[in-house]
Amino acid sequence: MALNNLNVLDIEAKHEQDFRRTILVVDDEPVNLRLLGNILKDEYDIAYAETGDEALLEIRTQKDFLSLVLLDLHMPGGNGYMVLDELKNNDELSNIPVIVLTSDNSAEVESLRRGAIDFLNKPYDRPEVIRARVRRAIELSIDRNIIDATGKDSLTGLLTKDYFFQYAREYDKFHPEQEVDAVVVNINKFHLINELYGRNYGDKVLCTIADGVRSFARGCGGVACRDHADRFYIYIEHQDNYDYLTKTLADRLIDITDKHDIHFRVGIYPDIYHSVNLEQRFDRALHASNSISKNSSQDVVAVYDNSMHEKELYEAKLLDSIEKALLDKQFNVVLQPKYDITGDEPRLCSAEVLVRWKHPELGFVRPDFFIPLFEENGRIKELDRFVWREAAKQIKRWKDMYGVTMPLSVNVSRVDIFDPDLLDFLQGILEENGLEPKDMHLEITETAYTDSVITIVDVVNSLREAGFKVEMDDFGKGYSSLNMLTSLPIDALKLDMGFIKGIAENNKDLSMVEFIVNVARFLEVPLIAEGVENSEQYLLLKKAGCDVIQGYYFSKPVSTSEFGHLIERSIER
Ligand code: C2E
Ligand code: MG
Ligand code: MG
């Protein structure tokens, strides 16, 4: 096993520490003992034994000092196999490496199977070869012991990622033709498990998954590790299906989850010729796992396929063009009207500002595709700031033109929450345009709240203290507990459109909406419904007590000039 730099240092330190190592030579023929002793005595201290029983006695008393045993197989008084079996089955002794001494070729495989790490053929006519193999055996065992001590993840006992990749690379080297699978296992909504049930329970879940992953990997002759948090990697020979893995994990989870469902997702990248590098293969397995909804209430397996590859290429192209797109101002904003429906007639009360990107080669790119990409690549701040500034300028233009202030709501990415200049920037653009904070509403997605409760509560509190109205976007997607909701600072709930889709056809969906209307009442905030597409949905929502509606039923997102006309008309009424 090759070592990385750090471990080489560790080993050197160890070499220096106990400079001369001890080797036990076991053989019933004194001439052999003398011969081996003479070959090795310049470099090592030598202990001798002439029978298996004597050898075991010696090993037990010297166990902390022995670096290697050279073991003859055929001896009176307990043969070599007996010694091997004793060592293998004793945790305290199983770390001591053994090289068997034999003139019988057929015994080699059997002794390796019983735990020997190498063999030397009698007669001993090539001292150099013997010395080299002894040296190598000792080094290998030090590697292994260091891996045992430091290459393990302290929580789960699985390998660390570094060692895992080292193993996997070695495996590839020796098995270039073997089809192998890179497998990633993630737990759905793990941070919520931690938050709702406590870290100890979270750790228990991780250890349970780790046990399952380990036992599956071992059973298939592979290795497993924990990358970080709730992400596990497995590297094994290609499997036709992963039913056994999902069953192993599900069975173990059942033992610890009596009332709550914990689910996981598995992504797989099979690769017959190791054509892409190891890290890339795990990236692709991760990609496959990320293609599965994190909200799934089932355990799902996804295999990386061509469509995922195409998507990755498309993403890479978009990533390459972000810089230029920002410089060339390829973005513009559209507005989707919001109507207050609490009175007899719907009344235009605001609009959501939505960004649009027309890529010079790829054409129109969907925001739900490029926004996450900008978020992941640290560019969302620039884009959002551009959108917010456009919004502020637009409110000011209409204020000058029509003498009314039409508040606009802008989306604030979860990433913006961590920007220490957020409040200053927002206040700055409002001041530039002679506006007040209440003129700009901020939509923050519910999942941002559930992802990082503490930071967001602080930030939202300071925004609200400064006078901004904060709307919780896509409510219902993020699993806020009722308990959590009552302590969250917000000015409006914006229902996720998934809830609206089925209300006309499905009583259960309608009851859910009615329930959420009650939650909004309880929190004393208005309920906004988005994605309302037809009159049935509109009427049901009105009847249920929803306050504001946004959706294709009233209007698709429109240009700023079209929205200007809508304001004009609403003033004329
Ligand atoms: P969102 O904030 O939940 O925005 C609502 C999305 O629903 C918009 O999609 C809108 O066009 C769409 N929509 C509105 N009414 C209907 C309807 O009746 N039926 C259907 N099927 N869809 C409707 P869009 O513009 O594609 O935006 C998608 C998401 O991208 C937004 O979801 C928001 O999360 C994000 N986004 C858009 N603009 C910005 C932005 O400037 N900054 C940030 N950070 N995120 C943005
Ligand atoms: Mg929004
Ligand atoms: Mg939304």
| Residuewise pLDDT in 10s, the chain (573 residues) | 333 333 433 433 433 333 568 899 999 999 999 999 999 999 888 999 999 999 999 999 888 778 899 999 988 777 899 999 999 888 888 888 999 998 877 787 788 888 888 888 888 878 888 998 898 888 777 666 655 556 778 899 898 888 898 888 878 877 788 899 999 999 998 988 887 788 899 999 999 999 999 999 988 878 899 998 899 999 999 999 999 999 999 999 998 987 668 999 999 999 877 888 999 999 999 999 999 987 777 889 999 999 999 988 998 899 899 989 989 989 999 999 999 999 999 999 999 999 999 999 999 999 999 999 899 888 999 999 999 999 999 999 999 999 999 999 999 999 999 999 999 999 999 999 999 999 999 999 988 877 777 788 899 999 999 999 999 999 987 667 666 777 788 999 999 998 898 898 888 889 989 999 999 999 999 999 999 999 999 999 999 999 999 999 999 999 999 999 999 999 887
The pLDDT value given to residue 6: 35
336 lines ligand 1 (CB under 6 A): yes
pTM of the model: 0.67
Residue 189 exposed, middle or buried by CB count within 10 Å (0-12, 13-18, 19+): buried
Residues 462, 458: Cα–Cα separation, whole Å:
6
The pLDDT value given to residue 479: 66
Nearest to 292 by CA among 273, 275, 305: 305
- Provide CB contacts within 8 A for 151, sequence distance 6+: 159, 160, 162, 163
Rounded to the nearest 10°, the torsion over CA 290, 291, 296, 301 is -90
- Provide CB contacts within 8 A for 478, sequence distance 6+: 445, 446, 447, 448, 449, 450, 451
| Ligand 3 geometric centre to CA of 530 (Å) | 7
- Please provide the distance, in angstroms rounded to a whole number, between the alpha carbons at the two ends of the chain: 81
552 lines ligand 1 (CB under 6 A): yes
The pLDDT value given to residue 476: 83
Give residue-wise pLDDT tens across range 50-75.
999 999 999 998 887 788 999 999 88
Ligand 1 atom closest to Cα of residue 445: 34
531 lines ligand 1 (CB under 6 A): yes
The answer to whether the CB of 350 falls within 8 A of the CB of 339 is: no
387 lines ligand 1 (CB under 6 A): yes
The pLDDT value given to residue 12: 37
Nearest to 182 by CA among 219, 232, 133: 232
Q: Facing residues of 268 across strands?
A: 183, 303
The pLDDT value given to residue 259: 60
CB atoms within 5 A of ion ligand 3 belong to 473-474
Mutate-to-test residue for ligand 1 from 335, 339, 353, 354, highest number of ligand atoms within 8 A of CB: 354
Ligand 1 atom closest to Cα of residue 494: 3
Residues 551, 505: Cα–Cα separation, whole Å:
18
The answer to whether the CB of 189 falls within 8 A of the CB of 292 is: no
Give the residue, by CA position, lying nearest to ligand 1 atom 41: 355
555 lines ligand 1 (CB under 6 A): no
Phi, psi (deg, nearest 5) at residue 3? -115, 145
In order of 354, 436, 526, the CA distances from 443 in angstroms are 11, 17, 14
In order of 166, 395, 466, 467, the CA distances from 430 in angstroms are 55, 10, 12, 12
Give residue-wise pLDDT tens across range 190-226.
988 887 788 899 999 999 999 999 999 988 878 899 9
